[in-house]
Amino acid sequence: MINAIINGEVIKTAVKAIVALVSEARFHFKEEGLHSRAVDPANVAMVIVDIPRESFDVYTVEEEKTIGVDVNRVNDILKTVKKKELVELKVEDESMLKIKFGSVEYSVALIDPSAIRKEPKIPELELPAKVVLDAGEFKKAIQAADKIADHVVFRTDETGFYIEAKGDIDRIVFHMGEMELIEFNREKARSMFSIEYLKEFVKIAGSGDILTIHLGDDYPVRLVFDVADGKLKVEYILAPRIEAE
Amino acid sequence: MLWVEKYRPKTIKDVVADKSILERVIAWAKRWQEGIPQKPLLLGGPPGVGKTSLALALANTFGWEVVELNASDQRSWQIIKRIVGEAVFNETISDEGEFLSSDEGRLKLILLDEVDNVSKKEDFGGESALIKLLKKKPRQPIILTANDPFKLSKELRDLCEFIQFKRLRTDQIVKVLERICASEGIRCDRRALIAIAQNAGGDLRAAINDLQAIAEGRKEIKAEDVVVAKRTQELDVFKVMQKIFKRFDRTVYTDAMNLDESPEDLIVWIDENLPLEYEGEELLKAYLVLSRADMFLGRVKRRGFYRLWRYATYLMTVGVAYAKQKPKGGFTRYQRPEIWQMLVLIRERRERIKSILKKIAKNSHMSTKKALNEMFFFVVYMLRHADIETASKIAVFYDLSEEEIALIAGESRAKEIKEFARRKGIKRVEVVEEEEFFKAFEREEKREEVKVEKKEEEEREVEKEKKAKKRRKKKKEKAEVTLDKFFS
C-alpha cells in the first residue's frame, strides 16, 4: 500500500520527462523517494528521474515497491492538473494506480514490471567539462537551433560554453562566457548531438530552473535539470552523433 | 519456456543456414566492425528458416547492441522512421546503461523484422521515408527481414544487399531436433524426427514447436506418436489450387481460410488457372460461381463487412470445385496471376508518359494538362510518321530520352531517331544565320495565306514557328548584349 500526496507541477513534470523517451516505465517507490529510469527504444538516450521524499507532502510507503506504468496515458491525464493543485497517488493492490486531483479520481491499470524493457544501470562516465546555467537560456538556444539544423555541437573552452548549429545557408552560435554562467570549470570538450532529443528534453524546463551540463569529447552528455524549485531532479544522458568523416 | 526461444542460436556458428549465406553475412559484419559502412542487409525467405535468428546471433557474436522492431510492436512507418532515424546516426547507450562507441567497433544493429508486413498497410509515404533514410548512409548496421521481399518497392530492394533464404532441408531440421532432444534428455526415434521434419515443410520453427508439443511430459518419442499430432501445415496456394481443381473435397475451404492470401488475392489465382483445368459447360458453371464470389468481395469492400468473406471464400473454393463433372487427373502447371504484374506495368507506363508530358509542357510553355490535350498526339504522330530529320529535331527539342521515344514510337524507330540526331549533331538550340531567321518569318506569313494545308505540314510549321520564336528570343538577347557593350 502506497499513499503519496504531491504538488501537481512536480509529478506532471516528472512524467513529462519520462514520456520524452519511452511510453512505459517502472516507478520505484523507495524509502528515499520516487525513482524511475529508462533507455529509449533507439538506444540513444537515457532518463533518470528522482523525486526525493522531502518533495512530497505526504509519503507513506509500507514496503518498497516497483510498479509498471503506462506513462503515455498518465501524462495525458495529468495535463488537466493545475500547477498548484495537489495530486494524490495511491497503489492499493498490484493492478491499479489511483490518481486523485480536485474532484477527479483516475484509475489506471498497471503493467507487469517484468514485461517492460530491462532497466539500465546508471553509467559511470568521465566527463571533464562542467557547465551550470539557467535552463531557460539553454531552452531558447535549442529551440532556435531546431529551426535550422538536425544536430548541434556543444563546445567548451577557456572562453566559455558554445552551442553551434549549421543549416544549409545559415548558422547559429549561442555563447555564454564565464561571467554569464553560474558555474564553469574551464575544461575543453566538444561533442555533437541530435536536436530531436534535446528539444524533447528542454520541454520540462523553464527560466529559473538550473541546468548542469557534463560534457566530454565525442562522448555522451549528462544534462541534469533541477526543476520545480529543486523538488525534482531529472537527468538525461544522450549519446553523441556519429560524425561523418 | 518455448524451445524455439531456448534453443535460438547464440552465436553465428550455431545458425543453420547455407554456408554461402553465412560467409556473406560474416564478411558484411566484419567490414562494419572495421568502420566501413555497408548497405543494409535484406534477408528474404519463408517463415521459420532462421532470418531473425541469424540477425540476432550475428549481433551477439560481434557484441552489438540490438534495436529490434518486430511485427508485434504497434509499429507504423512513422515510428520506424523516428526510431531508426535516430538510432542509425547516434552512438549507443546499451540496455545495461553502458556507453558504446562505434569508433571502438561497438555498434548497434537495427533489426526491422518482417518489413513486408508494414509496407502497404499503414501509410504509403512511409516506405519512401525509409528509403530516404537509407540513402543518407546510415552509420549503424541495419538488417531487414521479409517473407516476401518482392512486396517491397524495387528502390528499397536496390538499396539493400539482398540475401535469399531457402526452405531448410529435412536432414538439416532433423539435425537440430536431435541436438535439442539430446540436451533435453529425451530418447527419440530417428524416424519420428524425420516425420516431424517432413511435416514442417522446411520451417524449422514449426518443427521445433511440434517437437515440444509431442515431447511434453515424455521421456521417449516413438515413431507412432508423431502421426497423432499432425500439424495444420502451412499450405501454399498451389496445393489449394490442386485441391479445388482436381478433387471433390469440402475441406479445401478450411485450407483456403488458413492460407496466407486474402480472398481478394485468392480469387485472382483461381480466375487465372480456371481455364487451364475446366472446359465447356464446367468452365461456364465455374465462372458463374466465381462471379458470385466476386460480388461478395465487392460487398465486403463497399460495406466493410468482413464476415461476408467466408461466403466469398466458400463459393470460390468449394463452389468452383463442385462445378466440375468428375475429378481431374494429371499434372497441371498452375500459373501466377498476371494481373499484378500488369498493374505494375501499367503504373510504370503512366509514370513515364507523365514525365514526357512534363517535358513537353516545359519546352512548349504550357500546363501538363494542355500538353496532354493539345500537344501530345501531335508529338506522337510526328515521332511515328514524320521524316527522320523532323522527328529527331522534335525529339531533341523536347529532350526526350531513347526510352521515352521507344514508348511512343517503338524501339527500332527510337534507335533510328536517336542515331540520326547524334550523327547530324542536332542541338536543342541551333546557332542560326540571319537569313534563315528571316526565312522562318516569311514561311510563317506564307502559311497564313495558304490556309488549306496538310495536317502533317501544319504540325511541322507549328514546330518551326516555335523554334523560330525561340531563336528570335535568343537573337534579341544577343542584340541587347552587344548594344549595351557598344554604349558603355
Q: What is the pLDDT of residues B297-310, one digit of tens each?
A: 999 989 888 889 99
Taking contacts as CB-CB distances below 8 angstroms, the residues of chain A near B69 are 41
The C-alpha of A113 sits at a distance from chain B's nearest C-alpha, in angstroms, of 16
Q: Which residue of A has its CA nearest to B110?
A: A42
Determine the pLDDT at residue B430: 57
Same domain, B143 and B18: yes
B403 versus A86: the higher-pLDDT residue is A86
**Assigned domain for B187 exists:** yes
C-alpha span between B311 and B300 (Å, rounded) = 10
In this predicted structure, what is the pLDDT of residue B228? Answer: 47
Least confident of B236-240, B338-342, B467-471: B467-471
Bigger pLDDT: B464 vs B355: B355
Which domain does B435 fall in, by range?
A: 430-484
Are B205 and B307 found together in one domain? no
Tell me, yes or no, whether B312 and B387 share the same domain: no
Which residue matches cell numbers 560474416?
B26
Domain boundary among B257, B291, B321: B321
The closest alpha carbon to B48, from B212, B190, B230, B234, belongs to B234
Give residue for cell 520564336.
Answer: B469
> Percentage of residues in chain A with pLDDT exceeding 90?
72
| Mean pLDDT computed over B350-358 | 88
In a domain, B329, yes or no: no
What are phi and psi for residue B266, nearest 5 degrees?
-60, -40
Instruction: Give CA angle at B236 (B327, B344), nearest 5°.
Output: 110
Does any domain span residue B331? Answer: no
pLDDT of residue B471: 66
Q: Which of B321, B351, B368 is the last residue of a domain?
A: B321
Asked if residue B148 and residue B182 are part of one domain, the reply reads no
Tally of domains in chain B: 5
Residues B22 and B160 occupy one common structural domain = yes
Is A46 in CB contact (< 8 Å) with chain B?
Answer: yes
- Residue-by-residue DSSP string for A100-111: EETTEEEEEEPB
Same domain, B155 and B120: yes
B38 and B89 in a single domain? The answer is: yes
Distance of alpha carbon B470 from alpha carbon B477, whole angstroms: 11
Q: Are residues B16 and B118 in the same domain?
A: yes
CATH at residue B28: 3.40.50.300
Asked if pLDDT for residue B62 goes beyond 50, the answer is: yes
Q: How confident is the model at residue B6 (pLDDT cuts 50, 70, 90)?
A: confident
**H or E element in which residue B33 lies:** helix B19-33
CB proximity under 8 Å: A 117-136 to B: 117-118, 120-123, 125
Percent of chain B with pLDDT over 70: 83
Lowest mean pLDDT among A85-94, B70-79, B244-253: B70-79
One domain for residues B159 and B57? yes
Residue of chain A whose alpha carbon sits nearest to that of B65 = A43
> Does B232 fall in a domain?
no
- B377, part of any domain: yes
Determine the distance in angstroms separating the CA of B160 from the nearest CA of chain A, rounded to an integer.
Answer: 20
Q: Is residue B327 situated within a structural domain? A: no
Residue A230 scores a pLDDT above 90: no
Q: Given CB atoms, is B81 within the 8 Å cutoff of chain A? A: no
Q: B84 to chain A, minimum CA–CA distance in Å?
A: 7
The amino acid sitting at B281 is: E
3-state secondary structure of A207: strand
A219: confidence class by pLDDT, cuts 50, 70, 90: very high
Domain-terminating residue out of B141, B164, B187: B164
Closest approach of A233 to chain B, Cα-based (Å): 19
Q: Does A112 touch chain B (CB under 8 A)?
A: no
A23, A26, A36, A43: best mutation site toward chain B, by most B Cβ within 10 Å? A43
Candidates A42, A122, A237; nearest CB to B86: A42
Contacts of residue B379, defined as CB under 8 A and 6 or more positions apart, other chains included, come to: B360, B394, B398, B408
Contact A241 B89 (CB under 8 A): yes
Lowest-pLDDT range, A145-149, B105-109, B201-205?
B201-205
A196 contact B CB<8A: yes
Q: Does B104 touch chain A (CB under 8 A)?
A: no
Integer Cα distance of B37 and B50 in angstroms = 24
Residue contact A194–B95, C-beta within 8 A: no
Q: Which of A21, A26, A44 to mutate to test the interface with B (most CBs of B within 10 A)?
A: A44
Residues B179, B139, single domain; the answer is: no
Cell numbers that stand for A189 in this block:
570538450
pLDDT at A135 (0 to 100): 92
Task: Give the model confidence (pLDDT) of B367-415 as tens digits.
Answer: 989 999 988 888 889 888 888 888 888 888 888 888 888 888 888 888 8
* B145 and B191 assigned to the same domain: no
Residue B332 resides in a domain: no
Residue B326 lies in a domain: no
Considering only the beta carbons, identify the residue of A41, A196, A239 that sits closest to B91: A239
For residues B81 and B201, membership in a common domain is answered with no
Chain B residues near residue A41 by CB distance under 8 angstroms: 67, 69, 83
In angstroms, rounded to a whole number, what is the distance separating the alpha carbons of residues B428 and B399? 8
